[in-house]
Amino acid sequence: MSSSPTVPTSTTASSTSSPSTAPTVVEEGAQRSSRNHRTALIACGALAQPAAAIAERRGWPLDVHPLPPLLHNRPDRIAGEVRRTAEALLPSYRRVAVGYADCGTYGAVDDVCRELGLARLEGLHCYDVYAGAERLERFFDEQPGTYVLTDFLVRSFARTVLRELGLDRWPELREAYFAHYTRVVWLAQEPDDELRALADEAAARLGLPLTVVATGDAGLERALVPLVG
């Protein structure tokens, strides 16, 4: 997955210019003109691929520009990256939208959206987008110590959780991080045997039981509709 904020995923045709040859002024003008009829979605890297797949399936004029998924470990940096990317994209697109919920920024993403006239995904985090805010609230009411995974986090668990928290090097830290958690809930968008095995392994590494909740991507699709406009 690309982490470049200015290169969209494969929801548009590739440029016909040679990789070793810079586009001419005419080509740049044509590309800019074609984008003027499209929407750019600045998306969390964890949502970029499913958002692009939905856009392709629906035939939406949407280009997905992913930011690095590990920004979720540094939510204080999300708003600044969104601002920088939006300011670069706004001159070229009919509309720019934000494929983040609040995501632990405590309103900082909303401040950027207000200043630049952008819309963002509803909710506090992507878990709300997939499962619905009310259902997530019930999960946490039932067991406050609920640790939530999505398909992306299941696939990337070794990198985004174990490595980032240092558990691959110091497994004894598990108790410090997860002593108060009581279960793992996997919000499964596309569950299959491979992902189920990875989810089981992730829960086992945390020493927690696994609950699987099939969500599909309908929630994300509904959340994207008003952003595409």
DSSP state of 169: T
CA–chain centroid gap for 184, Å, is: 20
Name the domain count of the chain: 2
For the chain, how big is the Rg over CA atoms in Å?
19
- Pair (109, 137) in one structural domain: no
Is 225 inside any structural domain?
Answer: no
pLDDT tier at 32, thresholds 50, 70, 90 = low
- Pair (154, 72) in one structural domain: no
- Counting residues of the chain whose pLDDT is more than 90, the rounded percentage is 82
Is 126 inside any structural domain?
Answer: no
Contact 81, 71 (CB under 8 A): yes
Is 153 inside any structural domain?
Answer: yes
The domain containing residue 174 runs over which residues?
Answer: 131-214
Is 13 inside any structural domain?
Answer: no
- Pair (99, 75) in one structural domain: yes
pLDDT in tens, 131-175: 999 999 999 999 999 999 999 999 999 999 999 999 999 999 999
Is 229 inside any structural domain?
Answer: no
